[in-house]
Structure formats: C-alpha cells, structure tokens
C-alpha cells in the first residue's frame, strides 16, 4: 500500500492519456496549498497517480477507535505479552471419576454388630414353642394333631428353603459379588443348606409314615417320592458338595499365583471342567428334590376337606 506522510492512502487512477515514461517520485503539494474542505486529507500527486488520504472514512468503516484514541480492533492492537511458562513437571495422577465405586477392603475383620437378645437361637426356639403352646391350648392336643403339625411345618421349611436358595439367594450373589468371594460364601452356606433341607425332608417322611400313609396308594407314592428326595439331599450334603468345594479352592489357589506357567493354565482348565461336571450333578439332584417338594404339596392339598 502506498502512503504519504504516514497516513493510509487509497489509490485512484487519474484519467490521462499520457503514455507511461520512466517512473517519477511523487511531488507533494506545498504547505498551504491543500484545497479547502479536505480537513484531514493529505494528497500526493505525480504525473500518473493521485493519492488521496481516506483516514476519516477508513477509520469509521474498518478500524473503530475508542474514546482515548486507541484502536479497539483486535487485529491492530498489540498482542498481550504471554506469561512466563513454568517448566513442565510430573503430571498429577488422573482424578477418579465422580461415579466410581469406592474400593472395598475385603480383608477387614471384626463384628458387624452385636446380636440383640431377640436374635439368638435360644429366644427363637422359645418363641416357636410358645406359639405352638398358644395354639395347642385352644385345641385338643392329640398325637395325630401334633404329628400333622410337625409334618406341615417340616414340609414348609423344605419347600421354602429350596425355593429361596435356588432361585433367589444364589442368583443374586452370583450377579453382585466377585467370583471368588461368591464361591467362598457359598462354601459356607451350602453345608447348612443341605443339612437343613435333609433334616426337614427326613422329618416330613417320618411323620407321614406314622400318620398311616401306607394305607393308600397315593400315600405310598408320596413316601417313595420323599425317600428319593432324602437320598439325593444326603448325597449332595455328604459327597458332592465337598468335592465341588475342594475343586473350587484348588482353582482359586492357582488363579491367585503371581505368575502362572503353561502347566498352571492347563490345570485351571482341567479343574474348571471337573467343577462344572460335579456342580451340574449337584444342581440336578437339588432340582429333583425341589420337584418332589412341589409335588408333595399337591398331595397334601388333596387331603384337605373344605366344609360346604
């Protein structure tokens, strides 16, 4: 861009037909010869070009100024001096996400709470006996009535325990606990589960036999079904469950090694297959016992007499 006396200029060609010759330097007007009416215009003229200052026009169109005369155009103003940059240091560890679950300390030991007096085995047993005594006081307590009560109660414990453990407790823990933690909890629960269901099944079988179930074909079938269920529960409790637990802990011991060889990995795969086989057998036996319990409920319902 051509300029004269420091002001920005706009160039317009003067319509002259004079042929171009060697270039000449522009010759400014003499002081005092600026035409009147051009307040802020300074003009330089040569033989070919007339240059007119357009400071006032360009200022209003492209470069606004603020009240103190400094330019507010970001392209014109000087860029601020960038602050000194500190030398790079070790980056801080990334912050944990806001929704991250807190780390669980599974090695913590100690009592969760002190059991209340109402949550002890003695108080529970006394409460059950008191409930039986309260009901028996208003009825004729005969051997057959007491036997029927024991039978219905043992059947309720058998069916309810199997239903809750098979379809609710195991599945819920499997979906919400780490795999090894789940296995360790189940290794403590299953012996109690099989002991409780075996005892309830045995009591139901004995009381049904003492009630004279052998007198009818339906009663005999019910006794046979309860006998099959009892054998399956005993096998699960005394044989299959210990095998499954032993295989599971062998696998955990190898999985928790800091380094594993190829032999360790092959051993884990072998234990996985063996555990799956015995666990499948245990589940099948438990399912047979559960089906027997449901079928026995139908048998008991057929003995109910509804008064018209």
- Residue 308 resides in a domain: no
Domain boundary among 33, 61, 89: 61
Tokens of 53: 């200052």
163 and 297, same domain (yes or no)? yes
36 and 162, same domain (yes or no)? no
165 and 266, same domain (yes or no)? yes
**Contact (CB, 8 A) for 58 and 8:** yes
Q: Give percent of the chain above pLDDT 70.
A: 55
Torsion of CA 171, 175, 181, 182, to 10 degrees: 10
- Mean pLDDT, residues 254-263: 93
37 and 149, same domain (yes or no)? no
Name which of 115-129, 230-244, 245-259, 276-290 the model is least confident about.
115-129
Query: What residues make up the domain containing 177?
Result: 139-303
The closest alpha carbon to 275, from 216, 151, 204, 187, belongs to 187
- Residue 93 resides in a domain: no
Q: pLDDT tens digit string along 15-54?
A: 444 444 444 444 554 444 445 444 444 444 444 444 444 4
Tell me the pTM.
Answer: 0.58
Domain boundary among 11, 46, 61: 61
Domain boundary among 61, 84, 101: 61
- Residue 73 resides in a domain: no
Q: Would the CA dihedral through 237, 239, 244, 247 be positive or negative?
A: positive
**Contact (CB, 8 A) for 286 and 162:** yes
- Residue 116 resides in a domain: no
Number of folded domains that form the chain: 2
**Contact (CB, 8 A) for 152 and 216:** no
- 178 falls in which pLDDT band (50, 70, 90)? very high
């Amino acid at each position: 861009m051509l300029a004269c006396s420091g002001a920005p200029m706009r160039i317009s060609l003067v319509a002259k037909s004079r042929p171009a010759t060697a270039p000449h330097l522009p010759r400014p007007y003499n002081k005092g010869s600026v035409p009147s009416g051009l307040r802020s215009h300074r003009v330089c003229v040569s033989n070919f070009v007339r240059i007119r200052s357009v400071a006032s026009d360009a200022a209003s169109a492209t470069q606004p100024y603020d009240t103190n005369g400094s330019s507010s155009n970001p392209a014109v103003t000087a860029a601020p001096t960038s602050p000194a940059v500190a030398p790079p240091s070790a980056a801080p560890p990334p912050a944990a996400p806001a929704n991250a679950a807190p780390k669980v300390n599974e090695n913590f030991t100690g009592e969760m709470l002190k059991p209340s007096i109402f949550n002890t085995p003695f108080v529970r047993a006394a409460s059950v006996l008191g409930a039986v005594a309260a009901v028996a006081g208003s009825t004729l307590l005969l051997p057959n009535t007491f036997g029927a009560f024991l039978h219905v109660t043992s059947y309720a414990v058998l069916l309810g325990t199997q239903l809750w453990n098979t379809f609710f407790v195991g599945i819920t823990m499997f979906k919400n606990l780490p795999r090894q933690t789940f296995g360790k909890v189940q290794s403590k629960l299953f012996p109690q589960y099989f002991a409780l269901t075996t005892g309830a099944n045995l009591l139901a079988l004995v009381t049904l036999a003492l009630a004279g179930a052998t007198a009818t074909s339906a009663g005999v079938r019910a006794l046979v079904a309860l006998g099959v269920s009892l054998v399956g529960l005993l096998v699960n409790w005394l044989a299959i469950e210990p095998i499954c637990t032993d295989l599971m802990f062998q696998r955990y011991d190898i999985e928790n090694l800091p380094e594993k060889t190829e032999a360790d990995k092959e051993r884990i795969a072998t234990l996985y297959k063996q555990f799956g086989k015995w666990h499948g057998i245990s589940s099948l036996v438990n399912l047979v016992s559960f089906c027997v319990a449901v079928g026995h409920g139908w048998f008991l319902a057929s003995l109910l007499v509804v008064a018209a």
